[in-house]
Amino acid sequence: MLAFPDGFLFGAATAAHQVEGGCLDNHWSEWEHQPGTIRDGSTADVACDHYRRFRDDFALASSLGQNAQRISIEWARIEPEEGRFDRREIDHYREVLDSIRENGMEPLPTLHHFTHPSWVAADGGWENPRIVDRLARYAEHASRELGDRTSFWWTINEPMVAPALCYLMGIHPPCVRDISRALPVSRHVLLAHGAMYRAIHGATSHRPKVGPVLQMPFIDAHDPSSEEDRAAAAQQDFLFNQYYLEGLRHGIVAPPVGGGEEIPGLAGSYDVIGLNYYARMLVSGRGDMAHPAGGAHGDGDGDGDGATASEGMRLRRPDEPSEFDDQMGWEVWPRGLREQLLRLSSFGVPLYVTENGMATRDERARCRHLLAHLAEVHAAIRGGADVRGFLYWTLLDNFEWAEGYTRTFGLIEIDRARDLERKPREAARLYGEIARRGGIDEETLRKFEVAAG
């Protein structure tokens, strides 16, 4: 039996724009309504209609065995115009958080998950340094109003996505490909996290656990014997992973983003750390690059359209075939989850896997993927990492950003042809059994042919 520590959280994660429906006043909604932006021409106007059906969704998640649920709060609902906070929307999220608890689950809300209000975007979005104070003010308001309903706050989901996908690779809006614009964005996401951390602790006396949610691909040299590849991998790892880690730990903005200057209050701005882990990213010195983080990256769906944002995503080591063929075209490598958790364990705070999952229609593959990653979490705990929870990405098939509804990550299928009917998948039941037992038995590992980690 791979037993997890008492009180371990087994849950799922969602993000407002991807599931709620009706998030019309943010910059993603504006973008996805332009022709040619989303793979299947869809929008998130309805998404999973979770904004209205959240009670049923949480009851279902709980009945399946989950004891936690990560959600996100939509900034554009809370602050539709600069400085005007919408009381009805605060009340809505209070009901959402209460409903999670009433269903016996721990709520884990995130304040910024990719989307910001249209008025923020119109004023420069992440490029305008004012976003730091704006996010802090929103975090202060939300945590003051909702702080008695949650013990956790996650500040920004995947800070590196804004510079990398929005300003360097041009995959997410505003779809810029310009390093000189990406670097200030890297600075602002880091500073915004620190300002939000301080704002939350200043606003509430409930002593919540506050932290960032980092998406950390395991970045390695395509050819480990090539010095060029090793140097390129180290450089990518610095930009995507280490830059944020140094900022959090030492409170500095490291080059090439900053000049190593110290930002007051940034050092140690984490009581917990969330890790989103999906894939290994192999890098070659020839300049190939890849990015396994939300949105359109590869073309693993076999639909023959050949669209790919990053050919580098296809880098594979010929002698290490991937066991998992996901719809995103990512190189799924479960061992990387253990490695990144052990890397983060030096921060000395509790760690949570805030996202991990697989987009597939092959249910046995989803179950094997889940077991293989949970086994790696267990191995990380055995190795000394203080991991307290695992939040599967995601609860419901949802709007996968530039991929629309073509990617099926959900524990629960959404039948879009039948009024968004919810249909729990085999992996949801398997996960529920693991959550109820607090571990994985050997028979299950054998049945799915997964090694213990």
Residues of the shown chain interacting with ligand IFM in the complex, contacts defined by CB under 6 A: 15, 18, 158, 276, 293-294, 355, 393, 400
Taking the CA atoms of the chain, what radius of gyration do you get in angstroms?
A: 20
If the CB atoms of residues 272 and 293 are measured against ligand IFM, the closer one turns out to be 293
Report the SS3 class of residue 111.
strand
CB of 302 to ligand IFM, least distance (A): 18
CB of 227 to ligand IFM, least distance (A): 32
Question: What is the C-alpha separation between 396 and 408, in angstroms, rounded?
Answer: 8
CB 442 within 8 A of CB 2: no
* Residue 256, preceding peptide bond in cis (omega within 30° of 0): yes
Backbone φ, ψ for residue 389 (5° rounding): -170, 165
If the CB atoms of residues 29 and 444 are measured against ligand IFM, the closer one turns out to be 29
CB of 312 to ligand IFM, least distance (A): 17
CB of 393 to ligand IFM, least distance (A): 6
CB of 293 to ligand IFM, least distance (A): 6
CB of 214 to ligand IFM, least distance (A): 11
If the CB atoms of residues 145 and 376 are measured against ligand IFM, the closer one turns out to be 376
* Residue 350, preceding peptide bond in cis (omega within 30° of 0): no
Q: What is the CB neighbour count within 10 angstroms for residue 92?
A: 18
If the CB atoms of residues 243 and 277 are measured against ligand IFM, the closer one turns out to be 277
Q: In 3-state terms, the chain is what percent helix, strand and coil (to 5)?
A: 40, 15, 40
Q: Please state at what angle helix 87-102 crosses helix 130-146, rounded to 10 degrees.
A: 60
If the CB atoms of residues 112 and 388 are measured against ligand IFM, the closer one turns out to be 112
Strands 387-393 and 351-355, sheet pairing: parallel
Of 100, 389, 391, the closest CA to residue 272 belongs to 389
CB of 294 to ligand IFM, least distance (A): 4
Q: Please state at what angle helix 87-102 crosses helix 50-63, rounded to 10 degrees.
A: 10
Helix (H) or strand (E) holding 376: helix 363-382
Question: What is the C-alpha separation between 407 and 327, in angstroms, rounded?
Answer: 6
CB of 159 to ligand IFM, least distance (A): 12
Tokens representing 362? 């092959």
Question: What is the C-alpha separation between 434 and 269, in angstroms, rounded?
Answer: 33
CB of 169 to ligand IFM, least distance (A): 14
Q: Which residue is nearest to ligand IFM (CB)?
A: 294
If the CB atoms of residues 208 and 357 are measured against ligand IFM, the closer one turns out to be 357
CA distance readout (Å), 31 to 262, 294, 352 = 36, 16, 32
If the CB atoms of residues 117 and 329 are measured against ligand IFM, the closer one turns out to be 329
If the CB atoms of residues 15 and 190 are measured against ligand IFM, the closer one turns out to be 15
CB 384 within 8 A of CB 342: yes
If the CB atoms of residues 18 and 241 are measured against ligand IFM, the closer one turns out to be 18
Question: What is the C-alpha separation between 322 and 310, in angstroms, rounded?
Answer: 18
